[in-house]
Amino acid sequence: MPEAFAGRIGIMGGTFDPIHYGHLFAAAEAASGLGLDRVIFVPTGAPPHKKYGGMAGASERYEMTLLAISENARFEISRTETDRAGMSYTLDTLVSMRDLYPRSEFFFITGVDAILDICNWKEPFEITLLCTIAVVKRPGYDNEGLESLPEAIRRSVRVIETPMLDISATDIRRRVREGLGVRYLLPEAVRAYIEKNGLYSKMDGEPS
């Protein structure tokens, strides 16, 4: 993507541990609903809020994400967080993207469960100055909780109404650990990568 690019860019952040069809569907729906020219997936390097046993390494999560998005020409991937030293923060990622593509309009795509915790993120009000926050529904959560957010944050939120796929990375990791099938929950290339590299054999923890 050239630096002069001035389109609408979606930023899809997450641990992607592993990436699954719920992530891909949310990104595709956001791209369609918001008229995005492309969606850049940004696998988290060292997540400040998610720590659990058996987490795949940053390079492994990057590779799985790369495999998952390969068939969609509108999807791209960035090493912005996996190559960054220290903790990964959304604010720093958005600043980096703004520096790369100063003429573009940015939309940060996230789940309603994550946005309800935004006040605990690094400088949340600065985030709203850098992008529109595109909130995608997740099973078990409703939009009513958004009313509890500060007004300055609510003004930046766009809710993307989509059918909800009840797929959880936590459940996928559990099923792999217990020797259960995960086919049809995530792209076949990602399933094969997990099997080949023996991922998720240790104890698990918080959902993602």
**What are the pLDDT digits (tens) for 68-112?**
999 999 999 999 999 988 888 999 999 999 999 999 999 999 988
Is the separation of the CB atoms in 176 and 54 below 8 Å?
A: no
**Residue 154: alpha-carbon gap to chain centroid:** 20
Helix (H) or strand (E) segment spanning residue 92: helix 90-100
What's the chain's Rg over C-alpha atoms?
16
* pLDDT of 51: 64
Q: What's the chain's average pLDDT?
A: 90
The model's pTM is 0.90
* Fold topology of 8-167: Rossmann fold (3.40.50)
pLDDT in tens, 6-46: 799 999 999 999 999 999 999 999 999 999 999 999 999 88
Q: How far is CA 15 from CA 21, 81, 103, 189, in A?
A: 14, 10, 28, 18
Q: Which two tokens stand for residue 152?
A: 């300055």
DSSP string for residues in 101-113: -TT-EEEEEEEHH
Report H helices in 43-179: 58-69, 90-100, 112-115, 124-130, 151-154, 169-177
Helix (H) or strand (E) segment spanning residue 173: helix 169-177
pLDDT (average), residues 100-126: 94
Tally DSSP H helices, then E strands, for the chain.
Answer: 8, 6
